[in-house]
Amino acid sequence: MKKYLLVFTLILFSSVIANAQKENMVAVNQLVIVANHSGPVISKDIYGHFSEHLGTCIYGGIWVGTDSKIPNTYGIRNDVLFALREMKIPNLRWPGGCFADTYHWRDGIGPQEKRASIINTNWGGVTEDNSFGTHEFMKLTELVGCDAYISGNVGSGTVREMADWVEYLTSGSDSPMTRLRKENGQDQPWKVKFFAIGNENWGCGGNMTPEFYGDVMRQFSTYLKDFSGNRLYRVACGASDNDLQWTETLMKEPKNRGMFQGISLHYYSVPGGWGRKSSATVFDENDWFETFRLNYDMDRIIRGHAAIMDRYDPMKTKGLVVDEWGNWFQVEPGTNPGFLYQQNTLRDAITAAIHLNIFNQHADRVKVANLAQVVNVLQSVILTKDDKMVLTPTYYVFKMFKVHQEAQLLNTDLRCEDYVVGDRRIPAISASASVDKDGKMHISLANLNPNKEITITCPVIGDTFKTVSGEVLTAKEMAAYNDFDKPESVKPESFSSFNLKDGILTVKMPAKSVVVLELKK
């Protein structure tokens, strides 16, 4: 009875707010939170990241080699290791991306001096010496304390090659692959949580039709075995953007659904379009607005694919894996166009907040997500240059939002004013809320309007909280960013512009800001 009373109260709140807005009364910004009616667990894995052999993501960004003067552990940069641990990264995807479907794992094992060099035909045409391979990646995940997400080569690889890789990684039984791993210095098998059956097989991974890929996926998946207690979460290659037909084709066949646990989705926000990408640091308010309009499309795209998945998988046994997302701008002037190096501003921080709030709200279906990419590529959380390292505004949003990992999503109802530019409008506020295992509530908010402070009231129904604390990320300029000569231009600060009285939290969000609040009983 209590549960239904709370739902009725939420509906009543929503109705009053909606009527007020419909009658053009004073603008209402309100987030109603039902504190004791929690929803699904927010998987920590939606806070995952992506590392590809692209530009300086791996070489220089993560891997410097054991002979480097840059402080390292087993050749992996110490400053990057510490930063990733602080951010509480749950999983890391590797080796691609498009690179994955040209990658042959045996090139990257054994003595460094004997490893084969190849040409990275996807990204810049540079020579790849394979000094960073399977053992180095698994050591990286071990040092960071995160799970491995490995993308297998379907596009140019073979079934046996992929099956052998899984056995090499995870088998503890005596076999040629196990003995080879031991010869290369790893006696015990590793644990591998996620394994992708190809990447973008509708494009760089083979230009396949969904019907053809479905057949190939089943063949490859058949031979991806679970060894020595390790259980693979097999990820089928899913759609790009709005390609609902790809998802429909894979999901409608029971024989397909039985061969994977998750299906991927890739979506990038590209202001100006692929042919006319805009600058990462030189932009006006129209670009600012357009970026967030595209960011909000992620919610619509997820809903479209999730509706198809619900039709064939109503019990939600299959996860949606958004393993590539983020803003894609022009490369920085003077850099290799194939390296995809772009700066990272306050705009990117708000982009991250919008996406993470959307993923939180879809926690019933979205189980994994990976920002592209972790270091020096696209919307990265870390930039490096020789021995220097910079944490980007996006990094700080992930660090602020880590409180949602493995917490339970709370039912909320957000009604807010629009952010208007010309004749276009989008919601001015992005939000989500959760409660953790210790009973602490966390509310994450973003004010997209760069010109206006917004006050939002948050009635908390069903529980009582006594204390509030918070952090805010903002800056004076829309295009503010951290660089090697000014590494802390944009960073979180303590936030106190709130009031909690009689179960109603009132928050004054600065213009163009991200706010995370913690409520304790």
- Rounded Cα–Cα distance for residues 37 and 232 (Å): 32
Give the chain's end-to-end CA distance (angstroms, integer). 24
pLDDT at 35: 93
Residue in this structure with the two tokens 């309007």, named with its chain if needed: 449
Q: Are strands 467-473 and 493-495 parallel, antiparallel or unpaired?
A: antiparallel
Distances (CA, A) of 432 to 74, 161, 241, 395, 429: 39, 43, 23, 19, 10
Q: Are 426 and 286 in contact, with CB atoms under 8 Å apart?
A: no
- Among 267, 265, 292, 287, which Cα is nearest to 277's? 287
* Residue tagged active-site, from 128, 136, 324, 417: 324
Q: Is 200 a catalytic residue?
A: yes
440 has which bridge partners? none
- Rounded Cα–Cα distance for residues 365 and 318 (Å): 8
Spell out, as residue ranges, where the chain has pLDDT lower than 50: 1-13, 15-26
- Rounded Cα–Cα distance for residues 79 and 81 (Å): 5
Q: Are 396 and 491 in contact, with CB atoms under 8 Å apart?
A: yes
pLDDT at 456: 98
Backbone region of residue 99 per phi and psi (left: phi > 0; alpha: psi in -120 to 50; beta: other values): alpha
Residues 180-210 as b/e (b if ≥16 CB within 10 A, e otherwise) read bbeeeebeebbbbbbbbbbbbbbebbbebeb
- Rounded Cα–Cα distance for residues 183 and 174 (Å): 13
pLDDT at 8: 46
Q: Is 324 a catalytic residue?
A: yes
- Rounded Cα–Cα distance for residues 312 and 315 (Å): 9
* Residue tagged active-site, from 136, 167, 200, 417: 200
At 214, the amino acid letter reads G
Tens digit of pLDDT for each residue in 289-328? 999 999 999 999 999 999 999 999 999 999 999 999 999 9
Q: Could you give the domains of the chain?
A: 2-41+409-520 (2.60.40.1180), 44-406 (3.20.20.80)
- Rounded Cα–Cα distance for residues 259 and 276 (Å): 39
Tens digit of pLDDT for each residue in 447-486? 999 999 999 999 999 999 999 999 999 999 999 999 999 9
Q: 430: burial class by Cβ within 10 Å (0-12, 13-18, 19+)?
A: buried
pLDDT at 322: 98
- Give backbone dihedrals phi and psi of 230, rounded to 5 degrees, phi first: -80, 135
